[in-house]
Homo-oligomer: A and B are copies of this chain.
Amino acid sequence: MDLKTLLSTKGLKSTKQRDVIIQEFLKLKEHVNIDALYQKVKAKHPTIGYATVYRTMKLLKECGMASERHFGTRQALYEPHHETAHHDHLICVKCNKIIEFENEKIEKLQDVIAKKYGFRLESHKHELYGTCSQCKK
């Protein structure tokens, strides 16, 4: 199902602004903050406002197309949401590089922990902070 169809099933409208934001968002590989995304979008659609970017990202979150992250800071970072394989993050405290990782064993251990405390798990965050190989030098 494409975005336009998805929006219309929710009684929402497809607009030029939304198209550009989503296009630019999906194009980016790294985790992006609102400000950087706003700059990218502004280049294609100069009259766009900050609020529209915020509102669109909120919409994408709710549609399950984007995930919001807070790597220790107040500021939110966004990434496209992958339904399939969940991944977690290694963050370099020196250069802020972000590397994604997946670990099946950890995922399973999480289920064990949740069960032990009677939780029904919905999501998780696992972030490892340290110094990357380049910054160690």
Q: A residues touching B (Cβ–Cβ < 8 Å)?
A: 70, 72-74, 90, 92-93, 99, 101, 103, 105-106, 109-110, 113-114, 116-133, 136
Contacts and interface: CB of A to CB of B under 8 A. Distances in A.
Contact of A122 (B93, B103, B114, B116): B93
A130 B119 contact: yes
B118 A133 contact: yes
A132 B119 CA distance: 4
Contacts of A114: 90, 128, 130
A137 to B, nearest CB: 10
Interface majority SS on A: helix, strand, loop or mixed? mixed
B128 A124 contact: yes
A128 B119 contact: yes
Nearest to A127: B125
**Which 7 pairs show the lowest CB-CB distances between chains A and B?**
A118-B133, A121-B130, A119-B130, A120-B131, A125-B127, A124-B128, A122-B130
Contacts of A110: 106, 128
A120 to B, nearest CB: 5
B118 A122 contact: no
B125 A125 contact: yes
Contact of A117 (B70, B99, B117): B99
B120 A129 contact: no
